[in-house]
Amino acid sequence: MKKVNILFHALFFLIVQTCISQTVEKHFTHADTLRGSVTPERAWWDVLRYDIDVKPDYESKMIQGKVVITYKLLKAIKFNGAANSLSSEVPDIYQDYSALMQIDLQQPMGIDSIVQTVKLPLKALRKYYDKDTSGFYEKFRRIPFKRNGNVFTLYFNQPYQQNQIDSITIYYHGKPREAVKPPWDGGWIFTKDKLGRPWMSVACQGLGASVWYPCKDYQGDEPDSGASLTVTVPDTLVAVGNGRLKEKKMNNDGTATYKWEVVNPINNYDIVPYIGKYVTWHEDYAGEKGKLDCDYWVLDYNLEKAKPQFKQADTMLHCFEYWFGPYPFYEDGYKLVEAPHLGMEHQSAVAYGNHFENGYLGKDLSATGWGLKWDFIIVHESGHEWFGNNITSKDVADMWVHEGITNYSETIYTDCQDGIAAGNAYCIGTRKRIKNDRPIIGTYGVNKEGSGDMYYKGGNMMHTIRQIINDDSLFRQILRGLNKDFYHQTVTTKQIEDYISSHAKKDFSKVFDQYLRTTKIPELEYKTVGDNFSYRWTNCVPGFNMPIKLIGGKKQWLQPTEEWQSIKTKDLENFEVDENFYINLKKAD
């Protein structure tokens, strides 16, 4: 009896813990919604540009800086002289306002002040400003704000016209969260190179750019007109950023200032500084759109190792331009920058930390040998320039668009280098890393990614789709078409799914539902009864009807559904399913 009670309590505890775990998994806070959704305080303005100016202090691990955010009004806003309907929780001292703006900056970073140059028609603000400038009132004014966790609410008390362009300047400082295990557990990186010299950078995908500078930290709103990054560092070090170096200035106080700029739209988390004892060299790549400037930045003592290893960038660009279309950021150039972490897809300044060796830190993620033929970080992180940076998911719940297709770029690169059989083997070899723990699609509106299966399972889904299309010329056209038709855009998974189905002239909706929205691997169940061979799909979403290819002898396609179908055994030359399809086989009892 005692043993039964112990077993009962143990089982009860396990059930309770499981329920608690599931509840925690599904529970989201108001802070999550503020971060991951288009709130009313985000909806009325569109970011056009960030101009970031930052000065890090290595010893104190503090940074101070300012950010100019230029934005466009998406709708007209009237000034009523009193609180409007945007929020019901307005402090008494801010009762006169016309609009609320959400700015994100994570604790413990803080904002010192926010200012704006106001230039509006004379009649609009006669009672508020007293300087007349050619029919306009113009004044440098402070914007009041209030903090709520990682969000600052700004209060504006002026009218706005639709499509009006304005800007605010935010002065801030603080000790940013320090990365624990970058790039996965990210933040600001304060470390030293092997000679004991300061080496700094940032890795903040997922965590968010607001970990170190104030911004609209929402993936669906990229700065349409690009960004600049100005970094002041000790003059013994070099600061590298995204895009092109616009200015280098020695300040005669022991510091130097570097200004970098991109002209193309860019993800918030992609804007990063690299600060260290860097040296550089330049190469020209003859690409589809002409000369592409390629610049490589590494720590001085790694120069001789880096030069031969980085030659793989040339073969990568050749392969990916063929399959995906022209490199998306010719105006900003292409860079590989040695980083104090493994790697990240920082646009036009790809972070590299793979120790100048092939594979993934010297390992083959496919366990086939093919993954040791090339440098994983050069290939994978650069693949994100097309899928992740050129095409960006609006919501992080749809990050498979970045990671699944970029994972498949590894297979494509293996195809390019060693042939299609090698690419197939590489892709199939990665399946052992799929966990099927959660769906690939995450939770919308709360900055919540789905399962890490977005990488290997996402790549194998793309490989399966390629087999169904059964026409590599068409498959290539679809990949190139995605990058052309969604050039420099943010997208939803539905747009990508519909595009692939439409251009392949095949309905892949059930395939996407199966692999992205469930943890089930479809099972092809089969049996032989007399002269009949029967088959059907099980463990699948309703309506799943993916065709499947058999190999050996005469190649043959089956069109299974959830209902049993039969074929005469004499008409079935061989039952061997093409292993390039990511499915399971199940023999019926």
Predicted pLDDT at 135: 47
Evaluate whether the domain defined by 40-184 bears CATH number 1.20.210.10: no
572: CB partners within 8 A, 6+ apart: 533, 550, 556
Q: What is the pLDDT of residues 34-48, one digit of tens each?
A: 999 999 999 999 999
Distance CA 107, CA 104 (A): 10
Over residues 314-325, the mean pLDDT reads 98
The tokens for 176 are: 């940013």
pLDDT at 160: 82
In the predicted model, what is the mean pLDDT of the chain?
90
Percent of the chain with pLDDT over 70: 88
pLDDT tens figures, 78-120: 765 544 433 444 455 455 678 899 999 999 999 999 999 755 4
Q: What is the pLDDT of residue 571?
A: 80
Which residues partner with 70 through β-bridges? 49, 167
Buried-exposed string 133-148: b where 16+ CB fall within 10 A, e elsewhere: eeeebeeeeebebeee
Confidence check: pLDDT of 139 > 90: no
Answer yes or no: same fold for 40-184 and 354-517: no
Q: What is the mean pLDDT of residues 320-330?
A: 98
pLDDT in tens, 146-160: 999 999 999 988 788
Return the CATH class of domain 354-517: mainly alpha
Domain assignments of the chain as residue spans, ordered by start: 2-31, 40-184, 354-517, 523-587
Per-residue pLDDT band at 129 (split at 50, 70, 90): very low
* Beta pairing class for 391-393 and 489-491: parallel
Q: Of 22 and 350, which is predicted with more confidence?
A: 350
pLDDT computed for residue 247 by the predictor: 98
Identify whether 183 is preceded by a cis peptide bond (ω within 30 of 0).
yes
Average pLDDT over residues 310-334: 98
Whether the predicted pLDDT of 126 surpasses 50: no
Q: Of 150, 148, 145, 146, whose CA–CA distance to 213 is shortest?
A: 150
Return the pLDDT at 522: 98
Lowest-confidence segment of 140-144, 343-347, 436-440 by average pLDDT: 140-144
H or E segment to which residue 386 belongs: none
293 falls in which pLDDT band (50, 70, 90)? very high
Average pLDDT of the segment spanning 427-432: 98
Pairing of strands 548-550, 489-491: unpaired
Q: What is the mean pLDDT of residues 463-478?
A: 98
> What is the pLDDT at residue 572?
82
Whether the CB-CB separation of 100 and 91 falls below 8 Å is answered with no
CA–CA gap between residue 207 and residue 201 (Å, rounded) = 15
Q: What is the dihedral of CA 563, 567, 569, 572, to 10 degrees?
A: -110
